[in-house]
Structure 1
Amino acid sequence: MGGSDVRGEEEPAETGGDHRASGATDSVDRAIEAFRAGEPICVHDADDREGETDILYPATAVDPDALAQLRNDAGGLVCVALAADVADAADLPYYVDAVEHPATMTGATAYGDRPSFSLTVNHSGTYTGITDEDRALTISELGGFAADVADGALGGGDGTLADPTDAFAEEFRVPGHVHLLRAAPELLDERRGHTEFAVALAEEAGIPPAVVVCEMLDDASGEELSVAGAREYADRHDIPFLEGEDVVGALQRDTERR
């Protein structure tokens, strides 16, 4: 009863919608706590979009074991989603804007959105860049760069702090083996892809807005892993599983309460 001393009063019954909203919020809260603890979550975007579930991992928490988990258990492309202001600070373009070639995509993808891909990078301390250790280094240092941008440790504008673009160029090399993704500036109000879900949840968790996303594939069919299969995996490994619509609803309700 929220601290009330009244006894014997019945709580008002929840409607079906209220119950679903409460359950969804609880799930999102659990996922946010997992992010804060440096642990992965699973997010299914929507049946009428990609229809895929990705494993999401805070970039600063990624080590070689986490990379092996992504490679073996998910199997898709290992990418790092960056908040728009972090990408802007590093002067990272959209790939389709940077490459002039007859094959460069000029419209939307098959699922209706503009591609969020930017450049590919390796950290300067890597060798080939593809090993679990090398990619984990690249990813964790991307998380560190995002943290520096978010904390105001770069780009003071008065010459007292390092220029973020120069700092990025000192740490990373293009091309590389880690794909960068630029989140839409307005996040879920503008685009509802895994890139935006990842960054929105990171911001809600108060962690650096740099998150690994990796699609879950089915070993037998080679197609995207079914929602049921992804849920079973998440349950087996005690990983929070979220539906995209529940993330949108929970974050909207949180915004309204502020």
Structure 2
Amino acid sequence: MPGERGRRITVRMLLNHTSGIPDHIPHAFPSLQERSPRSLDDNRFREFSPAELIELGLSAPPAAEPGATPGVYSNTNYALLGELLAKVTGTTAQEYITRNVIERAGLKHTAFPAGPRIKGPHSKQYEALFGLLDPPHDYSVYNMSWVTLGAGLVSTMEDLNRFYARLLDGRIVGRAALAQMRRTVPVIALDGSTIEYGLGLHKLTVPGCGTFWGHDGTVWGAGTLSLTRSDGRRQMSVAVNLARWQQAEDGSEHPIDVALRTLSGQALCDDGSALSTP
């Protein structure tokens, strides 16, 4: 990244989202700023290059000053990290991650998609876009180049549990690197909430139940959340195939939110009580 701004941004800032570089997604899907879903269909088969995504992010007004907290979650950071990884290793980020993370962790059903279609049995993916798509649209076939390194992996709940169990047990990266991953800062997530974020790890403290580490992610029509307790004795991975089901102007709680909160309370806590009530 040229200029004074580029000299101030470190690799850690890209990893923990304190770079101040804004997310490219609102600019890759410009109709969203007009509360229109048109861009989702326009981009269904579009192949974005990392350079395009990075340019979209860097051309937008900065989200914050480099290093400032709270940070602002940005998928542009992942596009930059992918290009940096390719430059350092001499191979694509997808190839490097596949060899050194996916295969090392023994993930049998996890891979980057090789096109807009998912191979093998899989669920449909339905996007409601907060009521703008009614009925929800099926986006099961979609080119994931708009978010490949941020949320483009195809996986299973079993593989997610296996990955986080091995990561947090120090079997994918060393203990020193894992300690760095757990150094958190406040970050404003894409939904506007403030979370504790390390280097690719989200920290969630559940009163009476312990500290959990993991991540969530969403694409058009699908979402995933995976959490593992620090002692490794509790894990939860959940996938949904209807995304943004809430009505934007409806203040009432959606039954899906109630069900997910109840499930989380039962899965994360020994007595099943936490998170089960608002």
- TM-score, shorter chain, exceeding 0.5: no
TM-score computed with the length of structure 1 as normaliser? 0.29
TM-score computed with the length of structure 2 as normaliser? 0.27
Task: Point out the structure with the larger helix share.
Answer: 1
